[in-house]
Structure 1
Amino acid sequence: MSVHAYNASACTADPPPGGALTAGADPLHLALVFNLSHSTASRYATIAQNLLDDQIEQAAESE
């Protein structure tokens, strides 16, 4: 699964990645709240962190 396969709308439609965005990309939080395996929670957290980083970079470029 590629990190670039997700976009912001995909994350809000699926609770675990959406939860990763609202929980600050914390894999432990995701694993506990959504009953995910450690590896799945880590993947979702990485995807969420990349999305958050991209949003920050885009905001900085537009200023």
Structure 2
Amino acid sequence: MRSKTPVSTTWVRLTCCGLEATVERLRVDRQLEEALTHGPDPLHLAVVFGLDPSTAIRYAAAARQLLQAMQEHPREK
């Protein structure tokens, strides 16, 4: 059984090398996904990710806009 320890910066760099997705893009995507899944609540985002309040407000606003656009233009099946 492997121990559950955080990955190193080197491991992340080598694993993501050459990929279009960067660690920063993955982080932002994860935060936006959380906002879309649990609702655009800046307080929730700030607590879960340790974000500065102004950053949490920006992510919540972006999620709100995406949710509104999805309601106005649902995908056709």
Q: CA deviation at 1:15?
A: 1.3
Looking at both structures, which has the greater relative contact order when contacts are Cα pairs under 8 Å and sequence separation is at least 6?
1
Aligned to 1:27: 42
List 4+ stretches of structure 1 deviating above 3 A. Answer: none
Q: Which sections of structure 2, spanning at least 5 residues, go unmatched? A: 1-24
TM-score (norm 2): 0.58
Using the alignment, how far apart are the partners of 2:66 and 2:41 within structure 1? Answer: 14
Deviation, structure 1 residue 53: 0.1
Q: TM-score, normalised by structure 1?
A: 0.70
Q: How many residues align structurally?
A: 50
Bigger Rg, which one:
2
Aligned with residue 37 of structure 1, among 52, 61, 64? 52
CA distance in 2, matches of 1:45, 1:30: 8
Between Structure 1 and Structure 2, which shows a larger proportion of helix residues?
A: 1
Identity %: 48
